[in-house]
Amino acid sequence: MEVVRVLNGETGWLSCPLFSHPTLYSYSSAHSSGFSLFWYHLPPEQDLEQPIRYCQRVSKDREKLWLQPANENDTGQYICTLRNRTSCTKISMSLEVVSSGTDCPPLVARVPSHVYIPFQEGKSLSCPGLQDAAKMADSAPSVTWYHECKQYPFWDFQREVKGDNLMVYQMSVLFEGLYYCRVRYTRKNLTLSFTRVLNVSAVSSSVLPKMPTILRPNKDTKFTVRLGREAKLVCLATFPFLENSSRDIWWTVDGKPLELLTDTRFSETKRKVQEEHGDQTMESELVVTEVQREDLRTEFNCSIRNSAGFSTVRAQLDQEAYSPSVELGCGLGGTLMLMLVLFLVYHVFWLELLLLYRSWFGTDERYTDEKEFDVYISYVRDGEEEQFAVSTLRDVLENQLGYSVCIFDRDSLPGGTITDETLSFVGRSRRLLVVLSPGFASRGTQALLELKAGLDHMALGGHLRVILVQYRPLQWRAWVGELRRARVVLALLQWKGDKSKELTSRFWKRLRLELPLQKGRRDSELGTSRTFQSQTSTSSQTGLLSPGGEAVHRIQYSGGKL
């Protein structure tokens, strides 16, 4: 069910939807048959429904639950249950209590009721729900009328309040819009009120002809078609306004509607083209997917109907003369297709093309700088990202791609200052590879220092580039301030789980584009040499090149502590 809205502090009521169809359920017959109606309330963010406790403010009258007045605690789901000893039927509906700070509220308890008044004619407007409130009131309710938030009396003499109703004597465009009626009444020495809205529209005069009219095609219209091609027959018709009247437009083929045809070549599409003051212009398009020669002798009729009458017109088909433009179109289409294929090839293989170009014309940075490491890997310690950094990234970069990798927990000397050694390692590296994680800002003290050092080197032109690797999805508000400011100049790579594990995946290809170029060696040779150099250098620096040195190196690498 759609949400029922009630203004905070105003009277509201819910009608049990079970009784909205009297042919299925009738309150009087259900009550006489031994059924009882119970109401339950399910507040927001709760799982257990609670029975309604009736009091002066909350009461039940037949199939209606009254809130006099409603407050914010009344918001939630309401379940009305019809039960006897052998059966139980229930249905739920939503109630939303909203606040309004103006005298003319934009929200009301019900969907606006549509009222249509013909031009230059009159009508009496009554406030919805007034009769229901009169049954609960101790005295006759009073009604105040508003038009577009302006209280009666209005500026003209064509609208006048008589009793509880608003009389419109001569309708015009100026009188269209939303009309609010506010009902006030007294119940048990308590003044209550509620607001309803009417959406009033001016429609064409009731004295004008209401027969529908077909605008196109007419008796002189011919549809030019080509054999073997698709053809579209368009029927356009106008329907004058008639309240509670159906409007229909359809095509027939040899007197049969499309629903009864076995030929699947025919299909129909309907749509509303325009609506002005209740008068509608509708269009029906008949599509013939493949025109055959016998279709030229077939009778195609467009028909329209409303409660005032019926009209039909025949569509005439005419075969189009042959034109050599088909061959010209095929040639142009082939040229465009070739260009499209070339564009798609570049779009799909652009990474491979860039890597190939880079291998031919790129420069090996090892011969132009005095850096010691190719890559410095930065990550948040004690997390899933640490396992990804030290196992996956380190293993591929060192053993398969042959890069010299620096990891602080493995390559730093014992007893040194963390800040000084971090700045030193970052400054001696050509790339800073930062593994982002949701806890980067809160748990990544060491990682933040490494990121700040890398960004400072980039800003000072220190021949260092920062590469971001997003291991898990990271929301924008979780990015630290340095990353937000520098995001537009940094390369961001996303790890996509199993899709990125293979060395031929887009992740590793993009990472190779961002890493320093290595010329003159094959990947397998580079991987073996670099791995041996890394182990020898680490053992020499720490003074642990001994029969037990290999075991000490593994403990430092996996745990990060000695």
**Using one digit for the tens of pLDDT, what is the confidence trace for 461-492?**
767 888 988 888 777 665 666 666 666 668 88
Q: Which residue has the tokens 């045809």?
A: 261
Q: How far apart, in whole angstroms, are the C-alpha atoms of residue 537 and residue 540?
A: 5
Residue 63: burial class (beta carbons within 10 Å; 0-12, 13-18, 19+): buried
Residue 529 phi/psi, 5-degree rounding, is: -65, -50
The β-bridge relationship of strands 300-306 and 309-319 is antiparallel
CATH architecture of structural domain 4-98: Sandwich (2.60)
pLDDT for the residue numbered 551 = 32
- In tens, the pLDDT along 258-287 reads 988 888 899 999 999 888 888 999 999 999
- In tens, the pLDDT along 305-329 reads 999 999 999 988 888 876 667 678 8
Does an H or E element contain 118, and which?
Answer: strand 113-118
Active site residues: 450
Class of 370-559 in CATH? alpha beta
Provide the pLDDT confidence category of residue 533 given band limits of 50, 70 and 90.
Answer: very low
pTM: 0.50
CATH architecture of structural domain 213-319: Sandwich (2.60)
Class of 113-203 in CATH? mainly beta
Three-state SS for 355? helix
- In tens, the pLDDT along 41-96 reads 988 888 888 888 888 889 888 888 988 888 888 899 999 988 888 888 888 889 88
Contact 81, 166 (CB under 8 A): no
Q: Which range scores top for mean pLDDT: 18-22, 129-133, 311-315, 324-328?
A: 311-315
